[in-house]
Structures are given as structure tokens and as C-alpha cells.
Chain A
Amino acid sequence: MSMLNVKNLNVWFGKRQQRVDAVRDATFEVARGESFGLVGESGSGKSTILRAITGLAPNWSGQLSIDGNPVPQKRPKAFYKQVQMVFQDPYASLHPRHSVDQVLGETLQLHGFRDIDNRVVKLLDDVGLGQKFRFRYPHQLSGGQRQRVAIARALAPEPELLLLDEPTSALDVSVQAEILNLLTDLRADRNLTYLMVSHDLSVVGHMCDRLAVMKSGEVVDILSVAALRSMEASHPYTRQLFEASL
């Protein structure tokens, strides 16, 4: 049973003459428990796919289904209990005036949890932050710590599918290693499915089982990471990307 099924997805911005097709006819499938990568250069439409799945990009056509259930144009609340997203820039994805406690508390409250205090404590421990960070504001946190808070927020509703939009591209390499390890552990512990977008083939190679390569809005290649490593990529663009990141 596939966790996420994307079929003939088109995403566009603007109307009529100004219409820009960001994604054209994308089709791929992510199995339950799998970690799937979306790779491409900037402007290739890889992040737009994530935004279309979550409903942040309103203009889309095609079929999206989560766990076999088709996704309607207007997402019900239950959808967000199943699918969550971690944004690229931890400096922009946290409200500058809300403390960590407020961010997590509000998320939990929105999803109808009762024991909010205990859950906030647990979430902070799960992402390796601990209690002393609970009442800090974003400007009192480093980039890595902020991204941990953002991951905790995404985990709060206990989702099954986590969409990761370049979660480490704004971070230093040593911090990137910590966050990637955290994500690996969380997936194992919680049996999560990942859809990870990155421009960095080595990050996707490390994190994912399979990947799709995107170029100017189209999926040009879908292959397993093992096949990529053993130089079996058939598409010339995939090979070009592979060679550039060795």
C-alpha cells in the first residue's frame, strides 16, 4: 500500500498570460515506511510539489492520494494529522514573537491533545533539545536548535508522512549531520514515511531509498539510490548531477 501517490500532478502560478507552470505531469509513488528523495536544481519545481501536497500552492490538478484516500482541494483537519512538513529555513519558519513553548503548545492544542504540558516536554526530549529550551524565543536559539523545534512541531500531531523541504541546506555541515541523524532515528522510532526535497545529491543519497530527479518542472528519472551509486542511472541529467556531487 503506498503512503503517497502522486499522479499527473500539475502546479501553476498566476492566471492566463502570466501563468507559469511550475510542475508538469509529475507522477511518483512513495511506499509506507519508505524515504523518498526529490532532487533537482533551484526552480525545478521540487519544493512546489511539497507545497501542492500540503495545499500551500492552491492551483493544482491531477490526483494526490494519502494512504489510498484521495486528497480533496480543501484539506480537512484530519489531513494535517497525517501529513506534516519541515521547512527549509529555520530562521523563517518560527514565529519571531512566540517561545518554543508557545509554538509547540499551540500546535498540540490545535490537534486536540489534552496533556499538553507533558507532550511538550516529551517532544523536546525526542528532538534532543531538553527542558532548558522550552521557554526560549527563536532569537535565543541557533540554526540547528531552531530546526529541531520545527521538527518537534511537525511531529506534534504524530503524523505518518513527513515532508522535508531541504531541512539542512541552511545549516552548517556539522549541524547538518546532527539533524540528519535525528531524522534517521525518528523515522526508525516512529515508523515514519519521508518525502525529502534537496539539491544535494549526497544528502538524499544518505537519507533515502529511492529518488526522483526533476528538471524544469518535470520528473525526468526515478531510480533507487543503490542504482545511482552503481552508476546505473540511465538519464544523462541524472548522471551529470551524480558526477557533480562526487
Chain B
Amino acid sequence: MSNTQTLREWLLTETPTSRRHAKISAFYHGWLTLRSNTMAMIGLGILVLMLFVAAAAPLLAPHDPFTQDLGNRLAPLWSDGHVFGTDSLGRDILSRLIYGTRITLYIVTLVTLIAPVAGLLVGTVSGYVGGWTDTVLMRITDIFLAFPRLVLALAFVAALGAGIENAVIAISLTAWPPYARIARAETLTIRSSDYISAIKLQGAGPIRIITKHIWPLCISSLIVRVTLDMAGIILTAAGLGFLGLGAQPPSPEWGAMISEGRRFILDHWWVATVPGLAIFTVSLAFNLLGDGLRDVLDPKAGD
């Protein structure tokens, strides 16, 4: 970088000087587009805050999330030492919420690692290869799609046994078919484009075409879809927790917390409401971010 050039100019240059420079520059352009979207930035802000809270949970939490204090159960909001009150066993709700972010993040990360990847694989192969492969893979996808999501997840958890890991696997198993559908639809349009024809004329095989040429174009729409679905995933996880098939007590999973609070919803509404609001906030944040990412990652943008 020369002295006469500012960092901003270097990032916005039309003539990158190396592979890395080009990548960073493209990334910076995307960041600028995202930054101009206020709602997306709010969403991103919430998620960054959530990451921070999860990382610094032991420092932030005023109490141990598992310590019971039966003498002080169901304390109301803003009561002494318990901003969000306490639950039926006298545990501090704020502390449980803070530790709960870790579980939520854990679920979200695992699901995003499994479901879209599986969907991408099935969808692109199905779309690119076509013929019998397509028929078989898509009918399997249809079978998964034919069940209501929560019911299917319930069935899987029932078969695998209750627990947070099994809940994640169950959610992933029910979440991939829509991604496969999207990836397949995208592949069908990409498959017949001139740039795919061009690389075929260089003798490229199907594996290279799918992984190097089709995936990069499908991934952006999948990322958007995943962020938009994230709310649903958190809610399904919470739903499983609520039904007692996800995280097991005394784990401070948000869905399980609502489930516990349900019994007192009329007299002690905050016990269920506060974790509900947390789920709402995080889901909303993912939705806002997903909407913003859609603008950034659209391959047509920049034309």
C-alpha cells in the first residue's frame, strides 16, 4: 500500500493487485452494502451482542444459573438482586438466560453445519446430474417434506432419545429438504448457462463443475435462506425443549425455561415471558440480518 493511498481507496480500488486484495476488496464492497441497511445492522448488532454474552457468560451472570433458592422462588421482576426475577426453584432468570445463549448458539451452529450442507449436496447433484438420480433424490426429499416439521423431529427424538444433540440431529434431518429444493432449482438455471458450457469445453468433469462453479452461486441464496430459517430452527429447538424432548433439566435452554414457566403463566407471567422475549429477539435479529444479506449476496448485484 503506497503512502498516498488511504486504506479506503485501497479497499475500493477497481484494479486489485493480487488475489487476496481482490477478495478483500469484494468483501469490503459487500460490507458497505450491508452497512447501509440499518435494519440488517441492528440484527447483526444483536447477534454480535449475543456472541459476546455467550462468551463472557460467567462474568456477566450475577448468579449461578443452577443454584436453587427455594425461599425466594418466583420473585417478581426488578426484585432485589434478580432483575428478571426467579423461577419456580428460585434460580435467577437473568443468569439462566445468559447461560442459555450458549445452548442456543450451539444448536444454531450445529444445525447450520448439517442441514444446508446436506441440502446443497443433494440439490446440486440432483439438479446437475438429472435423470434417475434426480427422480430418486427428489422423491426422498418429498417424503421428508410430506411430514410436518415438528412432528418429524418429535419422531426422530423419540427414536434417538431425548437430549440436546439428538434434538439438533432431528432438526437438521427435518430442515434439509427445503435447501435441497432451492439448490436444485438454482442448479437447473445455472446448468444451462454459457459459463458452465464454457468450462465444459475445457474438459471439466461434473465434480469440478458442481463444487467449483455451481456451489459458489447456490451458497449465497442458501445463506440467506438459513438466516431467515434460523428463527424457525430456534423455535423448533425451543418447541422440543418445551415438550421435554430437547435440552433436559436443569439445563437453562430457553424453550425448556418457557415450558417450566408455563405452569405459572397466570400468576407469575414473567417466568415464561422473559425467555420467550429472548427467543423473539434473537429470531428477529436473524431475520433482519438475512434480509440484509439477501441484498449483499445477490449475484446480480453489481451489474
Contacts and interface: CB of A to CB of B under 8 A. Distances in A.
Direct A–B contact in complex, judged by CB atoms less than 8 Å apart? yes
Interface of A: 54-56, 77, 80, 84-85, 87-89, 91-99, 101, 106-107, 110-111, 132-133, 135-137, 139-140, 150, 153, 156-157
A111 B213 contact: no
Contacts of A156: 202
B198 A153 contact: yes
Given A77-B203, A110-B203, A87 B19 contact: no
7 contacts: A87-B194, A135-B15, A135-B19, A136-B15, A137-B22, A137-B26, A156-B202
B212 interface: yes
Given A95-B213, A135-B21, A137-B26, A87 B15 contact: no
Contacts of B203: 77, 80, 110-111
Given A93-B194, A94-B195, A139-B303, A85 B201 contact: yes
B202 A107 contact: yes
Given A97-B217, A99-B19, 4 more contacts: A80-B201, A80-B202, A87-B198, A135-B22
A135 B302 contact: no
Contact of A96 (B19, B201, B208, B299): B299
Contacts of A56: 197, 200-201
A89 B303 contact: no
Contacts of A99: 19, 22
B195 A92 contact: yes
Best-surrounded residue of B198, B199, B204, B212 (most CB of chain A within 10 A): B198
A89 B299 CA distance: 17
A1 to B, nearest CB: 24
Interface residues of B, number: 29
Task: Give the most central of B19, B203, B213: most A CB within 10 Å.
Answer: B203
Contacts of A98: 213
B4 interface: no
Given A101-B19, A107-B202, A87 B14 contact: no
Nearest to B214: A95
Contacts of B198: 85, 87, 93-94, 150, 153
A9 B16 CA distance: 47
A110 B19 contact: no
B3 interface: no
Nearest to A112: B203
A140 B14 contact: yes
A158 B16 CA distance: 27
Interface string B287-303: 00000000000011011
A136 B18 contact: no
Contacts of B199: 95, 106-107
Nearest to A83: B201
Contacts of A157: 202
Interface of B: 14-19, 21-22, 26, 193-195, 197-204, 208, 212-213, 216-217, 299-300, 302-303
Among B195, B201, B204, B216: residue with most chain A CB under 10 A: B201
B202 A92 contact: no
A151 to B, nearest CB: 12
A152 B280 CA distance: 53
The 6 A-B pairs with the shortest beta carbon distances in the complex, nearest first, are A135-B22, A93-B194, A135-B16, A139-B302, A77-B203, A92-B194
Contacts of A94: 195, 198
B271 to A, nearest CB: 49
Name the residue among B202, B213, B216, B302 with the largest chain A CB count within 10 angstroms.
B202
Given A95-B213, A135-B17, A84 B299 contact: no
Contacts of B16: 135-136
B130 to A, nearest CB: 12
A110 B199 CA distance: 9
A96 B194 CA distance: 11
Given A97-B299, A136-B14, A54 B201 contact: yes
A62 B15 CA distance: 48
Given A56-B197, A93-B195, A94-B195, A135 B18 contact: yes
A98 B21 CA distance: 14
A55 B204 CA distance: 13
A110 B208 CA distance: 10
Contacts of A139: 302-303
A84 B203 CA distance: 11
Nearest to A101: B19
